[in-house]
Amino acid sequence: MKKPIECISGGLTLRGMLHLPDNRTENIPLVIMCHGLAGVKTEARFLFASLSKQLEQEGVGSVRFDFRGNGESDGQFIDMTIGTLIEDIINIRNFVKTLSNVDQQNVHLLGYSQGGLSAAIAAPQIKNQLKSLTLWAPAAVLTEEVHQGMFAGVAFNKDNLPEYIDVKGLKLGRSYLEEALKIDAYEYSKGFDKPVLIVHGTKDAAVPYEYGIRYKDEVYTAEQLTFVTVEGSSHTFEIPEYRKQLLDATTAFISSQAKRQEI
Amino acid sequence: MKKPISCVRGGHTLRGICHIPDKEQKQYPTLILFHDFTGNKTENRYLFTALCQHLEEVGFASFRFDFMGSGESDGSFDEMTVNTEIADAQTILSFVQSQEFVDSSQIHILGYGLGGVVATVLANAMKEQIASLCVWAPAINLPEDSRHGKLQGTQYDIKNLPPYLNAKGLKVGLQFLEDGATLDIFPENQLFDKTVFIVHGEKDALIPLGYVNIYLDIYGEKARLTVVSDASHTFETIDQRQGLLENTLSFYEGLDCVKGAIK
């Protein structure tokens, strides 16, 4: 079963989709999915929508929202920052608390690209409210490259920030860049002590594989982390085999985490 | 005001969004938007959402659905062909006509890429029921490409096709080529006879600009073409995006039904 839902974050309406498995009516495990830069809640070529369907088969529900300023949600893209993304994630987690048939001890977080960067930073802040974290090609490259005056392939003057930069036709605002210059993505992600899955393609040109590896080396312990390498894949898991590896590895991880008994 | 909506075709739920202006009119002129191949109802970088928000302000209602197999709608992407999308479009048109706030004499349609072909076929087939046709970079080379085994720039060996084609990770069924190859977009005795507005990117590599001349040949003085300088198929800069959106908005604002309402 899926149905459209809304929640409020920063005074703005976020619009999303809720999936609940048909064969469960209570204590449902649930995943919150966070889309990428200039993305939407279905994600490119419906990766999130497909994952939600697969998870439903495993008895796991999900919510997928458009972030503020993105997709169907209210707000302006130019006002979005990593801080607003994190605030949205926390408000979505609060919204999930109002779902009475969801097992609140069994809520998981997943983010793709910029959504992965944001989810990784949000996770330690709400670690007692999460059971696991999944990152697809987490985009620490965004906050690392701003120091060289580069964002998502767009060059800018970091000593004299423009009002906005042109990210594929959308205006990414100065406030985003200002804030990103102060964020150490790896440092800020530390402190989450639950199981983590990272999936990253070796031929990712948008977020090079090395940026994913640094989460393994600098942020998470070997005990908590499962790192899945998709050999040959780009950022978008662009052939059916890569897509299947991504979705199957994620479904397996989350459904096993959903069944894990906490001591 | 916008809200989620759904309709059903062949057992599949099609999910969409409708925008209703807040102008205390009983009925509004209405636009139906059809998304591109592998796209969804928000479209790339929220192009559809942005257009519908502007239209809402000038008193236009609008409807945007995900086609069967795409986005949030039911069905499997590998079963989608241009014919399933045309059937979806027929169902959506009937659904829209049945809404109380829709002025049935003022139903306009717009399609992007493959959705542009769908909109053109629908306009020809249902010409009495449609007030204008707008196409953005219509995939008018679909029949030719399909006959030659070409999909989104990838050339397949037509005599030795794989079990499915690849659209950046999504499986495309072989029926897609068959239906595309045999499609008659402009049936001789059943051509749309009202205004046709075409917007195309000057440097569209997927659907070279030359292809859209057929609209001018077929519809003659009822057709108007606007070319967006330097633009690719996806209108990827702020200038190109504005060229697309502002020209389209001006087209709708210039219609008698809107001019009358504004004064």
Residue of higher predicted confidence among B23 and B32: B32
| pLDDT of amino acid B246 | 98
Q: What is the pLDDT of residues A174-184, one digit of tens each?
A: 999 999 999 99
A:B CB pairs within 8 Å: 72
A73 touches chain B (CB under 8 A): no
Which domains are seen in chain B, by residue range? 2-257 (3.40.50.1820)
Distance from CA of B48 to the nearest CA of A (A): 9
pTM of the model: 0.96
Residue B263's pLDDT band, with cuts at 50, 70 and 90, is very low
Name residues of chain A where pLDDT drops below 50: none
CA quadruple B137, B216, B229, B152: dihedral, nearest 10: 30
Which pLDDT score is estimated for A263? Answer: 60
* B189 close to A259: Cβ distance less than 8 angstroms: no
The verdict on a CB contact (< 8 Å) between A42 and B236 is no
Contact B172, B78 (CB under 8 A): yes
Cβ atoms within 10 Å of B225's Cβ, excluding its own: 15
Average pLDDT over residues B197-216: 97
Looking at residue A252, its pLDDT comes to 98
Min distance A238 CA to chain B CA atoms (Å): 4
**Tens digits of per-residue pLDDT, B118-145?**
999 999 999 999 999 999 999 999 999 9
Q: What is the mean pLDDT of residues B71-94?
A: 98
DSSP string, A183-204: --HHHHHTT--S-EEEEEETT-
* Closest chain B residue by Cα to residue A4: B4
Tell me whether residues B167 and A2 touch, CB distance under 8 A: no
Is A169–B70 a contact, with Cβ atoms under 8 angstroms apart?
no
In this prediction, residue B229 has a pLDDT band, given cuts at 50, 70 and 90, of very high
Number of Cβ atoms within 10 Å of the Cβ of A22: 9
Q: Are A66 and A32 in contact (CB under 8 A)?
A: no
Biggest alpha carbon–alpha carbon distance for chain A:
56
Q: Which residues of B touch A70 (CB under 8 A)?
A: 46
Give the nearest chain B residue to A171 (CA atoms).
B238
For residues B57-67, give the mean pLDDT: 97
| pLDDT band at B259; cut points 50, 70, 90 | low
**Cβ-Cβ contacts under 8 Å, A71 against chain B:** 42, 46, 49
Domain boundaries, chain A: 2-259
Contact A170 B170 (CB under 8 A): no
Contact between residue A211 and residue A219 where contact means Cβ atoms under 8 Å apart: no
Q: Which of B15, B17, B169 sits opposite A236 (nearest CB)?
A: B169
Mean pLDDT of chain B: 96
With a cut of 60, say whether residue B262 has pLDDT above it. no
- Token pair, residue B64, equals 């945007």
Which backbone phi and psi does A65 adopt, to 5 degrees?
A: -110, 155
As a whole number of angstroms, the distance between CA A40 and CA A55 comes to 19
Structure ipTM over 0.90, yes or no: yes
Q: Is A138 on the interface with B (CB under 8 A)?
A: no
Question: What DSSP element (H or E) covers A144?
Answer: helix A141-145
Domain A2-259, CATH homologous superfamily name and number: Alpha/Beta hydrolase fold, catalytic domain (3.40.50.1820)
Contact B199, B247 (CB under 8 A): yes
Q: What is the pLDDT of residue B153?
A: 82
What is the distance in angstroms between the Cα of A186 and the nearest Cα belonging to chain B?
28
A168 close contact with B: CB closer than 8 A: yes
Q: Which residues contact B69 (CB under 8 A, 6 or more apart)?
A: B75, B76, B77, B78, B79, B80, B84
